[in-house]
Amino acid sequence: MNTEGLDGLLPKEKIKEIEQSRSKEHQITTVRINDPSLITNLETAKVTFNGEAENKWLTLVLSWVIPALLFFILWSFLIKRMSSTAGGVLDVGKSKAKVYMEKKTHVSFQDVAGVDEAKTELMEVVEFLKNPQHYTRIGAHIPKGVLLVGPPGTGKTLLARAVAGEAGVPFFSINGSEFVEMFVGVGAARVRDLFIHARETAPAIIFIDELDALGRARGAYPISGGHDEKEQTLNQLLSEMDGFDPSEGLILLAATNRPEILDPALLRAGRFDRHVLVDRPDKMGRIEILLVHLKKIKQAPDVDPEKIAALTPGFSGADLANLVNEAALLATRHNADSVGMDDFTNAIERIVAGLEKKNRLLNPNERKIVAYHEMGHTLVALSLPNVDQAHKVSIIPRGIGSLGYTIQRPTEDRYLMTEEELKNKMKVLLGGRAAEFIVFARFSTGAADDLAKATDIARSMVMRYGMDKNLGPVTYQKEHSSFLDVSMGHNEQEFSEKTACEIDTAVRKIIQSAFDDAVTLIKKHIKSLEAGAQLLLQKETLNEKDLIALKIK
């Protein structure tokens, strides 16, 4: 075999091996070589050769099909991942409403207590969904929208779910803030999508919680302009409410604790026709709520719902549910077989006054000041008529800044207070400061919160209730527009500087008079103050029986 012309085509070692064994034939397999002179060189060297045509399909598959397939698989995975998450890019205009399509929310009116008036109002909605012909036969129609108004924790959402549970219809639940996004038009698209889905499953109930996040009055923020995302979303909601017929069985429920900031167009007749107040429960309402939650725990025979209700004025339904749970946790902590009345009392103190600060050690002088201070409150409360009676007094530090506390138990729910009752309330607040002044002839910082509360009462008496003779029956302070009695902003002064000075003088006069009366009252019962303070230093906590034994009257 002539090896000329193979240089550059084969390695030198291979060429040398061929030259040494010329008598043998060698078969060499190689890949395609892009060399125009290859065939000429092979013929010159008298090499027998053959070749196969290139398989272009394999090249195509390896070069294009497999990468494209991998890209498609990756893209499908990403699309599925984005669409499965809330707020996905492709579902940005879809409604985020949680839909209870099993037609049962597992909540009925039996689970709702303490709001009988609201339940009565909403029973009409249930009856309409169950038997619409009963109303339509005489031309009546159910309100398109029902607005549940009330402070947080009073059971507005629970009521809405109870309506759906009683009626046995699908329940669409969504928060008002979930409509609004940073992209303009997204909120309006979600409103449309929500109503489309609800119409497809009618009869149904749409519930929008925290409506104030969506229905704030337009023009409240003029700097945002007329094309604000929230305004477009609100406009779409108004359009949808005008566009559906109540006879379809589609009812819109909404809840808010700030009705004063809602857009007037949202509240007009034909949209939210009916406003249902869901307020904090009274004493009987609290008893009913407690009975509902007490069924869920193992309670001791001494548990008295009426006493618990008397100790929890102003508690909402959510507060009472939390109270029952806290009492159960405290009972579990000391391995009790059931939840007793002491657990409820401790749970109330834990919620109202805060956690016990067992590691906050007071020096003997401070403990003595706190003991006389708290007994001053208690003594004045037990001595005056028409005042919430002292239930418990303690010098165990609780919460952030409380070194002691006195718990008063109202005898009944009150909605009005006379001038005398307001002054007596101030005397109780200033009783601790008066006791410090009598015993130690100096003041401490412990009365700071008492002074703030007394000042608020005195200022309200002068500026809101017209209870000062010199200033007359005139109000100098506008009623707070907020439903929760919280000012929305700075109140402009609408009276002269001279009147402002007279107001300050009248406020100081009322507070000083209440303080002087508290001092006189404590001096009259100075022996009871000494005995009570010494007993409090010894036991750290005095209950109602201990206070009765002091015979302070």
pLDDT, position 322: 93
Chain-centre distance for alpha carbon 211: 13
pLDDT tens column, 419-451: 999 999 999 999 999 999 999 999 998 899 999
Quick check: 522 pLDDT over 60?
Answer: yes
CA angle in degrees (0–180, nearest 5) for 334-339-344: 95
Long-range contact pairs involving 529-538 (C-beta distance under 8 Å, separation at least 24): 529/372, 529/375, 529/376, 529/379, 529/435, 529/438, 529/439, 532/375, 532/378, 532/379, 533/368, 533/371, 533/372, 533/375, 536/371, 536/374, 536/375, 536/393, 536/394, 536/395, 537/367, 537/368, 537/371, 537/395
Could you tell me the pLDDT band of residue 89, with boundaries at 50, 70 and 90?
A: very low
Q: Of 69-73, 235-239, 442-446, give the range with the top mean pLDDT.
A: 442-446
Average pLDDT over residues 278-305: 91
Q: Which residues contact 282 (CB under 8 A, 6 or more apart)?
A: 413
pLDDT, position 117: 87
Q: Which residues contact 337 (CB under 8 A, 6 or more apart)?
A: 298
Whether 150 has a binding-site annotation, put simply, is yes
- Kindly report the average pLDDT of the chain as a whole number: 81
Lowest mean pLDDT among 199-203, 285-289, 470-474: 199-203
pLDDT, position 181: 67
Name the catalytic one among 374, 421, 497, 540.
Answer: 374
Q: Residues 471, 473, 474, 476: is their CA dihedral positive or negative? A: positive
pLDDT, position 222: 53
Whether 313 has a binding-site annotation, put simply, is no
Whether 373 has a binding-site annotation, put simply, is yes
Quick check: 76 pLDDT over 90?
Answer: no
Quick check: 56 pLDDT over 80?
Answer: no
pLDDT, position 4: 58
Domains and CATH numbers, the chain: 12-45 (no CATH), 100-217+228-277 (3.40.50.300), 283-353 (1.10.8.60), 364-482+495-550 (1.20.58.760)
pLDDT, position 410: 78
Whether 170 has a binding-site annotation, put simply, is no
Helices (H) and strands (E) in the chain, counts: 20, 9
Could you tell me the pLDDT band of residue 548, with boundaries at 50, 70 and 90?
A: confident
Q: What is the spatial distance between Cα 502 and Cα 500, in angstroms, rounded to a whole number?
A: 5
Could you tell me the pLDDT band of residue 87, with boundaries at 50, 70 and 90?
A: very low
Residue type, 190: R
Quick check: 550 pLDDT over 70?
Answer: yes
DSSP per position, 246-264: GGGTEEEEEEES-GGGB-H
Lowest mean pLDDT among 90-104, 248-262, 389-403, 424-438: 90-104
The closest of 189, 192, 329, 212 to 262, measured between CA atoms, is: 212
Quick check: 19 pLDDT over 70?
Answer: no
Q: What is the spatial distance between Cα 482 and Cα 485, in angstroms, rounded to a whole number?
A: 5
Whether 227 has a binding-site annotation, put simply, is no
pLDDT, position 314: 85
Quick check: 547 pLDDT over 60?
Answer: yes
Q: Residues 158, 164, 165, 171: is their CA dihedral positive or negative? A: negative
Per the DSSP assignment, residues forming a β-bridge with 299 are 339
pLDDT, position 18: 66
Whether 156 has a binding-site annotation, put simply, is yes
Quick check: 177 pLDDT over 90?
Answer: no
Q: What are phi and psi of 277, to 5 degrees?
A: -80, 125
Strand pairing class (171-175; 145-149): unpaired
pLDDT, position 363: 82
| Residue 306 designated active-site | no
Give pTM, 2 decimals: 0.70
DSSP per position, 119-178: HHHHHHHHHHHH-THHHHTTT----SEEEEE--TTSSHHHHHHHHHHHHT--EEEEEGGG
Cα separations (Å) of 224 from 219, 229, 541?
Answer: 9, 9, 57
Share of the chain above pLDDT 70, in %: 79
Whether 157 has a binding-site annotation, put simply, is yes
pLDDT, position 477: 78
DSSP per position, 229-296: HHHHHHHHHHHHHHHS-GGGTEEEEEEES-GGGB-HHHHSTTTEEEEEE-PPP-HHHHHHHHHHHHTT
Could you tell me the pLDDT band of residue 99, with boundaries at 50, 70 and 90?
A: low
DSSP per position, 457-469: HHHHHHHTS---T
pLDDT tens column, 384-422: 988 888 888 988 887 656 788 888 877 777 778 899 999
pLDDT, position 127: 85
pLDDT tens column, 180-197: 766 667 778 888 888 888
Whether 106 has a binding-site annotation, put simply, is no
Whether 153 has a binding-site annotation, put simply, is yes
Quick check: 109 pLDDT over 50?
Answer: yes
Could you tell me the pLDDT band of residue 10, with boundaries at 50, 70 and 90?
A: low
User: Which residue carries 């002087």 as its tokens?
Assistant: 516
For residue 147, the number of C-alpha atoms closer than 13 Å in the C-beta half-sphere is 23
pLDDT tens column, 477-504: 776 554 444 444 445 677 888 889 999 9
Share of the chain above pLDDT 90, in %: 25
Buried b or exposed e, range 433-471, using 16+ CB within 10 angstroms:
bbbbbbbeeeeeebbeebeeebbebbbebbbeeebbeeb
Contact (CB, 8 A) for 384 and 517: no
The closest of 283, 506, 550, 521 to 385, measured between CA atoms, is: 521
Average pLDDT over residues 346-366: 79
C-beta neighbour count of 526 within 10 angstroms:
13
Both tokens of residue 515? 């303080």
